[in-house]
Chains A and B, each alone.
Chain A
Amino acid sequence: MAHILLRHRDVENIHKLDVYRANGGYEGLKKALTEMTPAEVIDVVRASGLRGRGGAGFPTGIKWGFIPKDAEEVYILINTDESETGTFKDRELSEKNPHQVIEGAIIAAYAVGAKRIYNYFRGEFMDAGYAMEEAVQECYANGLLGENILGTDFSCDFVCHYGAGAYICGEETALIKSLEGERGQPWSKPPFPAIEGLYSKPTVVNNTETMANVPQILVNGAEWYTSMGTEKSTGPKIVCMSGHVENPGNYEVIMGTTYRELIEMAGGMRDGKAFKALLPSGGSGPVITADALDAPLTYEGLDAHNSVMGSASVIVMDETTDMVWAAQKMIHFFHHESCGKCTPCREGTFWMEKVLHRLMNGQGTEKDIETLNSVAAQMKGRTLCALGEFAINPVLSTIRLFPEEYKAKVKNSQSEDWEKALATQ
């Protein structure tokens, strides 16, 4: 299949403006600016069914429509914080085909009346940011950014900004706080960014991949886009395949592809080992097992399996994987990244890591499993942002799906492992 979002794999040097333009680049922008009103742009995006690729899947056109029409100052914020474990698609998009993202963002800016776009990269992505800065320079030099874009009376600026290591800054309100020069901590919504966002002005926050979808929707139309995928999940999607597959990497597929097909695309299980489980949405979604492999990759496809597509960062685990260990790895991540603002997340991730650590060291008791379950229940629905919700997913789902592995850890406490653990104290 020819790529839509990962076209840099088919077209060499598409990161250069002339190559990008020679391949239809900035035609979408031209069409929007010269043939369409902002409202029409929003309508097309709404009709395309494009949903946010940052994880939550909120319909992009509807989000743009929330921006008050009479707002004087509006901002577009591209979310390239990409810090979810197992996620690396926005990095590739930014490094290899930055113009596609820039074009999408300018179209978004036109649609909502924004005069400035900020692209927030996680601090570790300065290399990708550098590629984007180069592309931005080219745009300024060629009338695609700055005053009177493409000779129209639309003007817009584009600024790259860099975080400094904090997963929480991917959460849209935390991202805004971080960009404002504060600690990147989320606020309790409402107010939503569309009403009070960056510098308290209406703001659209969209994922990098979401933006990358926009130019071709404008060129080819909504119908072309809805012809791909399912009714509720349209278009292409980049899936980050990692873990125990033969060829980890980004794969662009049409929505509706099954997880089994995805593993096959990634070369199958590494070393021919048997599949055990996968995390469909990086660290933050509940684990699924073999019975869910034929589920389609759509926003709703894993509903029956108590899980979510999320950002579609699929971490595959084979039969050798210790699921308690995997849960501990994940909770370590969330404890490390909890911003500390709200009590249940700050304290809950701390305690879950303590307990899992104990279990992994063979010092756990039966009661510890209960404690994990109840601490998770105490966090559920009570944290200020979704990070706390994410944190409990890998723990609860592994306890649910692999109870015997947890119990084995407890049993082991009477065995050699237990002795060993004590000896190393």
Chain B
Amino acid sequence: MTENQKTFSSGEPVIRLIGLGETGVKLVETLAMIGPEGVESHSLDTDNRSLSRCHQSKTLLLGQAIPCGLGTGGDVALARAAVESDRDRLAKLVEGANLVFVIAGMGGGTGTGASSLVARLAKESGALVVGVAATPFDCEGTRRCNQATGGLRDLKQASDVVFHFSNQDVVQMTGADTSLNNALEIANRHLCESVLGVSRMLLEPGLLNVSFGDLQSAVQGRQSLGSVIHVEGSGEDRAATAVEKMLAHPVARGGEALQEASAILVHLSGGEQLSLAEMNTVTEAIKQYASAVDLVVGASGPGRDEALQVTVVIAHQVKLTEVEPDLSAPIESQSSEVANVSFPETFMPSGETSYVGLGEDSGGSRRGGFAYTPPAPTAEAITPELKDSLIEAAARQEPDRKKRKKITQEMLPLEIVSKGRFEKSEPTIHKGEDLDQPTYIRRGMVLN
């Protein structure tokens, strides 16, 4: 850690990226590959397998004693225990840093459970903590979504600001036809942009500097949600193009996000040609939406390419509960019924059709398809005699089976959770969830 102390004293802020859980590790790997110089990357996970894929960042296996490198399997409590057991090592990891990015995918075990604890450790060591969180698609199940909401809330409380990106937003941005790979890539790119934008803003030598102090005063202690918009404009009218892109950015929500901001940091980097007029265009556009906010403008010096890169860091001072409806605004502006139906329509059918297919298969012409079928005899094994005997056997079996079918005992549906007193009443279904079943079972709580 002495090395870090040295960089600290040299004037540059010490920035560390900490990726937690599978998603976090993946993001940190990507960032470490493309990220600016002078940023330390660490990958932390409870799963050995995901860490073994890391080449760019320093790895640390959490909870060597408890999950033994096998992952938590979505158990938040296990992840917390793992972090607790490695508290000392983690404390060393964040020691001496000025800015710590805690990057995690919410909804699973490690990312959800560990991120807030790591953020808290970093906070205790005196660093400015920026959380970067991805939340799952709605179709990933209620339990995961609920876990993600909880994890995000905890992370928000532990960090100074959280840049949050919901995977579900990708669906709204690009439509449900996007391939899963593509959708995840878009989500990852947004999260990476947030980290890169902020670190570039702080590390690049600037004409007008946005310093660590500016960021600190904008976000420290707000425990808020923030967002980062990073756009590039090129060509003749590159400032206007950049502004247009900025407002069209999903995170800006057509300027609404700017209106709600409590502080905005703008950083432009545009090489030698960066003109005062261009700077003016960008800041004026922002001021149109947010005239009264704390606006810090920075510009970095020569050495960059022709494109004008604009990074806008928006810090909100709104509570999580109040921001949530806005984040999902596009669906809810339609009738809520349509919104509810649309997810199953886009995601469920693939699963459903396959089940339907199975049912038809067994319930139609080939009844009993689920029963054990002996492996097909090899070609040389079928002698004419054997063939005949097989056909005979099949013929004998046919009526037999029909008779048996008549006396087959009816099977009760495989109902794992009895509904007790609501057995015979009309089920209360809310967004596909049967509310008659105990909540603690649906949320996967264990009575121990």
Q: Does A pair with B? A: no
Chain B contact residues, CB within 8 Å of chain A? none
